[in-house]
Amino acid sequence: MPLDPKRTVAELNDLRALTGDEDGAQRVAWTETWEQARAWLRERVAETGAEETIDAAGNQWFTLAGESERAVLIGGHSASSVTRAPASPIAPRFFEG
């Protein structure tokens, strides 16, 4: 897949529309919205043939094997912070109080 900055900006806008609101990104880890963002990314990456793994900490990793034994590691994150995190049945209770 060739690099296309316009596609990247369009995809970021799509992610914002899916998981944001008037206060910005709302992808707090372990919430349903965060899971939506992960599914969205999974769908985008699927077309590359990359293999997804999720580690013990919940990090989402994609590996795309090439012809060489050499490797390149690129990272980022899609979670966000908010002033008040909503209660979530799947989230650890870090925001009580």
pLDDT in tens, 37-87: 999 999 999 999 999 999 888 889 999 999 999 988 888 877 776 655 555
Residue 18 near residue 65, CB atoms below 8 Å: no
Residue 41, token pair as written in the block: 């990314």
Residue 22 near residue 82, CB atoms below 8 Å: no
Alpha carbon 82 to its chain centroid, in Å, reads: 16
Dihedral sign for Cα atoms in the order 82, 88, 94, 12: negative
Please report, for the chain, the start and end positions of each structural domain, with discontinuous segments joined by +.
Answer: 5-63
- Cα separation, 63 vs 72, in Å, equals 10
Give me the pLDDT at residue 43, please: 95
Position 96 pLDDT exceeds 80:
no
Q: With residue 78 as reference, give the H or E element that holds it.
A: none
